[in-house]
Amino acid sequence: MSVQRLELRGIRKRFDGLEVLADISLTVRPGEFVSILGPSGCGKSTIFKLLTGALQADGGELLFDGTPLDHGRRPFAFMPQRDALMPWRRILDNATLGLEVQGLSRSQARQKVSPLFAEFGLAGFERHYPVQLSGGMRQRAALLRTVVQQRDMLLLDEPFSALDALTRAGMQRWLQAMWERHRWTALLITHDVREAVFLSDRIYVLTERPARVLDEITVALPHPRTDLASPQAAAIEARLLQTLLNPQPEKGK
């Protein structure tokens, strides 16, 4: 097996006596799209906070490219649950935010980002403010802001959970197509089973809090994926739902 891009070994985290992450181990290979699927409030977002350095783990190891995670390197581009676009910045200037923080001048950053607007379905909206855009467009702008940072790995925290069902389905297809083209290494947090199956190479299923890994499923569906209703996809979905809704009593407890 090639070297893992990201590896979590036995990560534990508690807040004031409340155990949130009991034992999380997972891996992500370069170019792989991995999902973390779990019930609401199980501590999925805490994993991202540990990765971005907003929180420190109480135990376990975080390895990136085989070496302990160094937050000075900042290998992750993070996309939060809600789009977190700045209402006072135009879409173009929202997209350049990460590059500006990295130290690029505004004009350099704009030059880098502008050519990508068409691919993200945002051409012609560069000068618009976020409030003028639909929910789906805002999420695409947020993903654009994430991708242009050119980090080694994307962290997507339930990026479509705030969208209506139809827009969400459209966005999932769009993200799928984008991923086919760019093959980003990505870790997605979701509680949407269908979304996980549709987008992922592998899925980690977490238990309720305190979270541990309940199951790991490889989604061996061919790319490009357009058919959500194939029998294989349906079978994986059924297995995931079964695991989530009827968790087996944990071993050794």
Partner 1 sequence: MSANRRHAGVFAPVLSKIAPALLSVGALVVAWELYARFSGISAIMLPAPSRVIGQAIQHRQALFDNTVPTIRATLFGFGCSLTAAFVFSVLIDFSRSLRRALFPVFIISQTLPLVAIAPLVVLWFGFGLAPKIMLVALVTFFPMLVALVQGYAATDEDIQSLLASMGASRARIFLLARLPSSLPYFFAGLRISITYAVVGAIFAEYAGAAKGLGIYILNAKNNFRPDLVLAAVLVSATLTLVLFGTTVLIQRLAMPWERLGEGRRS
Q: How far is the CB of 161 from partner 1 (least distance, A)?
A: 13
Nearer to partner 1, 109 or 193 (CB): 109
Q: Note whether 54 binds partner 1 by CB under 8 A.
A: yes
- Residue count at the site for partner 1 (CB under 8 A)? 24
Q: How far apart are CA 110 and CA 130, in angstroms?
A: 17
Cα separation, 24 vs 185, in Å, equals: 19
Nearer to partner 1, 104 or 116 (CB): 104
| One character per residue 79-98, x = contact with partner 1 (rule: CB under 8 A) | -xxx-x-xxx--------xx
Length, in residues, of the chain: 253
93 or 201: whose CB is closer to partner 1?
A: 93
Helix, strand, coil distribution of the chain in percent, nearest 5: 35, 25, 40
29 binds partner 1 (CB under 8 A): no
Task: Tell me the two tokens of residue 99.
Answer: 């590059």
Indicate whether 182 belongs to the interface with partner 1 (CB under 8 A). Answer: no
| Shortest distance in whole angstroms from residue 9 CB to partner 1 | 22
Establish if 52 lies at the interface with partner 1 (CB under 8 A). yes
Give the residues across from 212 on adjacent strands.
Answer: 23
Show the site string, 131-160: x = touches partner 1 by CB under 8 A, - = not.
xx----------------x-----------
For residue 48, what is the enclosing H or E element? helix 44-52
Question: Least CB distance from residue 247 to partner 1, whole Å?
Answer: 30
Q: Residue 193: what are its φ and ψ, rounded to 5°?
A: -60, -45
The CA distance from 200 to 240, in Å, is: 13
Indicate if the alpha-carbon torsion angle 59, 63, 67, 71 is positive or negative: negative
Residue 213 touches partner 1, criterion: CB under 8 A: no
Is residue 114 close enough to count as binding partner 1 by CB under 8 A?
A: no
Tokens of 145: 């802001």
3-state secondary structure of 155: strand
Give the bridge partners for 6, in sequence order.
Answer: 28, 64
Of 76, 117, 184, 204, which one interacts with partner 1 (CB under 8 A)?
76
Residue 205, helix vs strand vs coil: strand
Query: Is 130 near partner 1 (CB under 8 A)?
Result: yes
Q: Per rule CB under 8 A, is residue 53 in the interface with partner 1?
A: yes
Residue placing its CB nearer to partner 1 in the complex, 14 or 82: 82
Q: Do the beta carbons of residue 13 and residue 50 sit within 8 Å? A: yes
Residues that bind partner 1 (CB under 8 A): 49, 52-54, 74, 76, 78, 80-82, 84, 86-88, 97-98, 100-102, 129-132, 149
